Amino acid sequence: MQKNILIYIALILALCLPLSGYAARPLVTDDARLTNAHSCQLESWVRAYEGGREAWALPACNLGENFEITFGGGVYHNQDENYRTEDWILQFKTLFKPLETNGWGWGLAAGHVKHTDIQPGPNQLGNTYFYVPVSFSLSDDDVIVHLNIGMLRDKQASELKANMGLGAEFKLGGAFKGIAEVFGDNSQNPFYQLGVRYSLVPEVFQIDGTIGQQVNGDNESQWLSIGLRWTP
């Protein structure tokens, strides 16, 4: 019952709270925006589960005006089983309509993951995937909601899965912002997370933290993440 209440709270936050800024780490749900033209950024985080942890680094560069490439990877270590594995991600993203204040935008992202073994559910991973990011701006960017709809191919299970995400960012005061989102695919219960982001240098360097879990999942599906985003 308590888990269901948390899910409802996350959904209400994602739909109703005032937002600011743009979708980025720690959101899994992507937005209809790109890294600045002819520049790069870095998103990195550590996510801890019961008995294991994973660490990620995802650099992204906008090579022209409207074509972003992300290439990076992660490492997962299960302390109980003394098991370690790696994943590598290559993703391309473009926009058909950039997000504007009091408007909306959408685009397309597609990617490939080599060796999808790092908690694929919470990371929305598939061997090959694509999704359409859609963002809505309301009240002069005080409210921005992000929606993702896509497909992923699970090579190990030899099946296609439909996935989606609903996320939002909102002001908490000062340099603090909050995030809330729900995401998942049609093969299992969705995941949710709530978090806080703090801007050490506005629009340049931020740190963040989240807590999350699978709906009706056991303790092993719970996580705590700490990350950073650098946009030089």
pLDDT at 20 over 80: no
**Lowest-pLDDT choice from 112-121, 161-170, 209-218:** 112-121
Question: Does an H or E element contain 13, and which?
Answer: helix 2-16
Coil, helix or strand at residue 155: coil
Contacts with 8 (C-beta within 8 Å, 6 or more apart), sequence order: none
Q: Rounded to an integer, what distance in angstroms lies between the CA atom of residue 25 and that of residue 44?
A: 8
- Inter-CA distances, 79 with 21, 74, 124, 226, Å: 37, 16, 23, 19
Model confidence pLDDT, tens digit, residues 106-161: 999 999 988 756 566 666 666 889 999 999 998 887 778 999 999 988 777 778 99
Residues 6+ apart with CB under 8 A from 125: 87, 89, 113, 116, 118, 152
Of 130, 125, 103, 101, the closest CA to residue 115 belongs to: 125
Tell me the whole-structure pTM to 2 decimals.
0.82
pLDDT at 13: 38
**Rounded CA gap, 28 and 164, in Å?**
10
Domains recognised in the chain with CATH numbers: 2-230 (2.40.160.40)
Q: Write the CA distances from 136 to 20, 108, 153, integer angstroms.
A: 12, 16, 28
The pLDDT value recorded for residue 123 is 67
| Average pLDDT score over the chain | 84
Q: Give Dmax over CA atoms of the chain in angstroms.
A: 51
Strand 68-78, strand 52-62: pairing: antiparallel
pLDDT tens digits for range 41-94: 999 999 999 888 999 999 999 988 899 999 999 998 887 777 888 889 999 999
Peptide bond into 59 cis (omega under 30): no
Between 118 and 36, the more confident residue is 36
